[in-house]
Structures are given as C-alpha cells and as structure tokens.
Amino acid sequence: MTTGRLDGRVALVTGAGSGIGRAIARRLAVDGARVLTVDRAGDVDRVADVTEAGINARLVAEAGSRFGGLDIIVACAGITGMQTLDGHSDEFFDTMMAVNVTAVFRLIRDALPLLKQSSHGRIILIGSVMSSFGEAGMAAYAASKHAVLGLTKSVAAEVGASGITVNCIQPGAIDTPMTAPAFTAMPAFKQRWIEKAALGRLGQPEDVADVAAFLASDDARFMSGHGVFVDGGATQRQ
C-alpha cells in the first residue's frame, strides 16, 4: 500500500460512518490526507443529514476552517432499496433522489469555491453498476445512480478548466451494513450476485476504497469524467 501520496491534502467524506464511506475515509487518511468524516450516525467528526438545507455548505466551511482548505470531496452518503412499480410510492422515489442525487449535487456546488483554490482538486462520486443498467424492482435506485453518472460527466466538463477532476466509482455487490439486510432476507439474490461476478465473490469496502484513493491521487491526474467499475467483472456476465 502506497503511503504519503496525499500528504497535506484535505478531504471531506460523507457517508463515512460505515461500509464503503468509512473504508474510503480510512484509506485516504493512511495515504496522508486530513479527513472530515460525516454521517447521520456513527463514529464520525460531524453527525449530519446531507439532505438538510444548507448543510453541505456548512460542512465545506467546517473542513476549510478546520484544515485550511479543501482538496477532495467524496460523496458516499447514499441509500438503496427495492420497490416494484405496482404500488411504488412517491415518498420512496423522492427520498432516494434527495439522498443519492440532490445532496450530491449540492455538495459539489458548495465545495467548488474551495476546490478551485486547490492545485489537486478531486471530486469522487459513488454510483453503482446500475449507473449503466437496471434491475427489476429498483427503478428509483437505478434512476438515482444514472443521475450520479450524468453529474460526473457534466461537472467534469464544466470544472476541468480549473484543474479539478471528477470521477464516479461504480461498485458491484459490496458486503456492507447497507446491503446486509437484503442479502440476509434474500439468499438467492446474494448468490446471484456472487455468481454474476467473474471473481466469484462479493466485494469488500476496501476494494472500493483503494480505487477512491487512486482517483484522489496524482496518479489519476489526467482521468476525468468517467465511471469506474469495481464489480469483480459482474458487468461482463449479465
């Protein structure tokens, strides 16, 4: 594991209380970054609901005042869930979009002034393999993750002149506290995703975190506007 390649840089990671977000925050810290961790609960620096009006601007300001700037944002806070169209509620769809899309957009927008002052500006979003295809019963989730990939491409085009890179990680089935209830309730669903992956296993949060650390580093300095699959080869075997 490379250490020190993020020395002196400041990161803000949402959804850092567990799972992928926590693994990313820890990995960025190992590489030398100072990290402001945010989540609705858990052992984080700031407990906050990213859908609250104005909260993302306050989080950005806190990172800037605490550490003297901001170089990296990782928008990892997100939710998932399944609901078939027959009886699909507006509330379910609206909540999915509020957490997975609107809060991400606001964080990007509010972080831009500080990111533009950095010589290593990085925006890292968390999409899904369903950023590129769909799954029965997951219309709301798939729509939200397609939107994240769209944000990635459009924002990359807009902020590239400021030297900021924007990329989206598209994880496959990852073994996290968020996915555990579905995998426990539906063993066949879990097994299907294990078999779907060419590597024959569920991913671990660290599998995603290592890619996030790469995207945050100078090693990815000429890479922007892309969705990066971290899925064990699952998308090859649809």
Residue with structure tokens 């991913």? 203
Segment holding 23, helix H or strand E: helix 19-30
Q: Which two tokens stand for residue 87?
A: 């009886």
Check the CA dihedral 99-177-228-235 and report its sign: negative
Task: Out of 20, 78, 127, 141, pick the active-site residue.
Answer: 141
Q: Is 230 a catalytic residue?
A: no
Q: What is the DSSP string of 144-157?
A: HHHHHHHHHHHHHH
Q: What per-residue string of b and e applies to 2-27 under the rule 16 or more CB within 10 Å gives b?
A: eeeebeebbbbbbbbbbbbbbbbbbb
Q: Which amino acid is at 158?
A: E
Catalytic positions are: 141
